[in-house]
A and B are shown apart, each in its own frame.
Chain A
C-alpha cells in the first residue's frame, strides 16, 4: 500500500460540502491518467478510463469526512458549532480541531467544555451535549474571533497519521480516504501496467456522503453505470464485551463484503459474482455480519433507472472520530479485490 498517499489524503481538509482540497490531491495524483475527467456542480471528481467495451463500471468512494460548522461566536471568543455528519458527543470533548477561516486560512483549535472539577454529579455520568461545547482557537474576544472566522466556516478533526503495532494505522477521515487512496492506486496500476480494462471504468470521487449522499446521486446520473462498486470504510466492534454476532467484522481479516445495510439490500446475483471473483483470484475478504450503517450505494442503486451495486469496506474501529483505526492487511485486501473487479469480464 501507498502509505504516503493515504497519509496525504487522511490529513487533508475535506468536510462534507468542502472537499476541494481532497479533490486537488486526487487530481494531482491521477488526473493525468484519465481519458476524460468529469466534474459537476456538487464537486464530484470522476476519472474515466476507456475499456474494450462500452459497458460502464463505476467505482466510487466519497471524499468528504465528518466535521464541524461554525454556528455562533460569543463575547469570550468561543465558537459554537454544529457537527457536519454524525459524530458521537463522546468523541468531541477535548479533541484538537482545524478550522478553515476567512480567506481560507487554517486555525488550530481545541474543543472545550466544563472541566470535570466543575461538573455536577449528574453531568459526570453523561456525555456533554454539543450545544455546551465550543471550539477555542486562541481568541479572547468576539471582535478577535470574528476577524478570523465567519458563520458557516468548516472544521475537521486535527489528527496525525500514525502507523503502530503490527500493521495498524490511526488517523482521521480514513472513512473514506481509504476508498479514495485505493481508487488512485488502481488507476495508477492500470496505466503503469498498460492494461485496457474490459469495461469502461469511471472512478467517481464523490462529495457529501456524510450528509445525505447528494454527490453520489449526481455522479450516478452523469455516468449511468451498468455496475457500481462502492469502496468504503465501515464501523467494526471487535472489541471487548461485544457478542460475536454484533462485531460486524474483524480488523485484519480482510475487506468486508456487504449483504445488507440500512440503505441497500444487495442483490444476491451480484454478491455471488463478487464471491466467485474473490475465490477465483484468491482474494482475502470477509462478510460484514451485521446490518449497520449505510453508504453511497443506497442512492446509487436506485438512481438513473437502477444500478447493480456491491460494497467493499475496510473495517475501522472508532470510526467518525479523530482516531479511526484500520489494519494495513484490510486496505491491501480491498486494493486486491477492487483491482480484480475493475479488470473482470464477469461482473456486468
Chain B
C-alpha cells in the first residue's frame, strides 16, 4: 500500500482537476471491480457487484482532490496572483516551493512587510522566475493550478510526513479494500470524489448518482496529541478512528455501533473521533438523494493542510481491515 500511496501523493490533483489522480486509481482498481464510470463532476465510481439476491448499496467515498492555488492574474513583472482553492493556511505556506499541473516550479511569497495577521490570499504571489508577463505566459495560463511540491518522507518507525495525505491516504485505503474484498452481501460502490475541499461538491453529485443505502467516507482527521492542540481524544498510532461527529455531520448511530462491534470482534485497533472543526463527504452522503445511513473511518493525521501532514502506516492498515469488513454491514 505504501508504494501506491506514494504514487498517488506525487500526482497533481487540485480541486476540479483530479483527472490524473482518478486515472491512476482507475488503472489500479480495474481488475478488482465489475464496472467503472465517471460522472459530470469527475467523480470516479467503481462498482463491485454482490452475488446476493437482495444486495443493498454500500458507497465508500474518499475524495481525490487536494487543496492548492489557482492562477488568477499575471502581472507585468511576471509575478502571478493566485486565489486559494480550499482551506489554505497562508502562515504555513509562506515561502514554500510550489509546482503547477504542467510542472512549472515557483515560490509562493507574501508581499514584503506583510504583518503576520495580514497573511491572507490577496497578499500572496507566486514567483516562477519569469522576468516579464510575456515570459510568464509561456509557462502558466490563467486557471492553472499550483500545489506545494508533494513529497512522502519516512520518519521513525511506521510514520511518514508529506502531502497530500489529505486525502490520498483515504484513496489508498479504499483501493486496498477493493483488492481484498471477497464475496460481499452488498453492492459496493467505490467513489473517488471530486471537489471535496471546497465544500463536498463532487460527493453530492456522486451520491445522487449512486443513491446508496449506506455510506462510509474515508478521510484524514485531526489529532489531539501534539502540544497546544484543542482537546481531542484521537491519537496518531492508536488505530482507525471511527467518526462519531464532525462539524458537517452526526454519523448514524447504528452504523457507528456496528463499526465498533466489528472492530472489537476482529481485534482491530480503533478509537473514536469527535472532530470540532472540519467537514467530510459523510455529510452529503447522509442527506442527498433521500438519505443514507452514514459513517466515516478516519486516518489520524497531524498537521493537516500543511506541507508535512504526518500519518502512521499502522493506522492505515487498521483502516483497511475495518473498512473491508464494514462492506458487509446490513442494518
Partner-B contacts on A (CB < 8 A): 226, 244-246, 259-260, 265-268, 271, 287, 289-291, 301-308
Contacts and interface: CB of A to CB of B under 8 A. Distances in A.
Contacts of A287: 142-143
Interface string B38-68: 0111110000000000000000000000000
Contacts of A301: 41, 201, 205
Interface in B180-232: 195, 198, 201-202, 204-206, 208-209
A305 B209 contact: yes
Interface in B70-89: 70, 72-73, 75-76, 81, 83, 85
Given A304-B208, A305-B205, A267 B75 contact: no
B76 to A, nearest CB: 8
The interface centre, meaning the residue of A265, A271, A308 with most chain B CB atoms within 10 A of its CB, is A265
Given A268-B143, A308-B40, 12 more contacts: A244-B76, A260-B83, A265-B15, A265-B85, A267-B41, A267-B42, A271-B143, A290-B73, A291-B72, A302-B205, A305-B205, A307-B40
Contact of A302 (B41, B72, B85): B41
B81 A245 contact: yes
27 contacts: A244-B75, A245-B75, A245-B81, A246-B122, A260-B83, A265-B195, A265-B198, A267-B16, A267-B17, A267-B41, A268-B143, A287-B143, A291-B83, A301-B201, A301-B205, A302-B204, A303-B208, A305-B39, A305-B40, A305-B208, A306-B41, A306-B43, A306-B202, A306-B204, A306-B205, A306-B206, A306-B208
B204 A259 contact: no
Contacts of B83: 260, 290-291
Contacts of A303: 205, 208
B42 A289 contact: no
Contacts of A268: 16-17, 143
B112 to A, nearest CB: 15
Contacts of A291: 70, 72, 83
Interface residues of B, number: 28
B41 A245 contact: no
Nearest to B143: A259
B278 to A, nearest CB: 19
B140 to A, nearest CB: 13
Given A268-B16, A305-B205, A289 B73 contact: yes
Nearest to B84: A291
A246 to B, nearest CB: 7
A interface secondary structure, majority = loop
Contacts of A267: 16-17, 41-42
A266 B204 contact: no
Given A287-B143, A289-B73, A291-B70, A266 B16 contact: yes
Nearest to A268: B17
A315 to B, nearest CB: 15
Contact of A245 (B16, B73, B205): B73
- By Cβ-Cβ distance, the 9 closest A-B pairs, closest first, are A306-B205, A306-B41, A265-B16, A245-B81, A291-B83, A306-B40, A245-B73, A259-B143, A305-B208
Contacts of B204: 302, 306
A245 B205 CA distance: 33
A329 to B, nearest CB: 21
Contacts of B72: 245, 259-260, 289-291
A304 to B, nearest CB: 6
A152 B188 CA distance: 50
A34 B136 CA distance: 48
Nearest to B15: A265
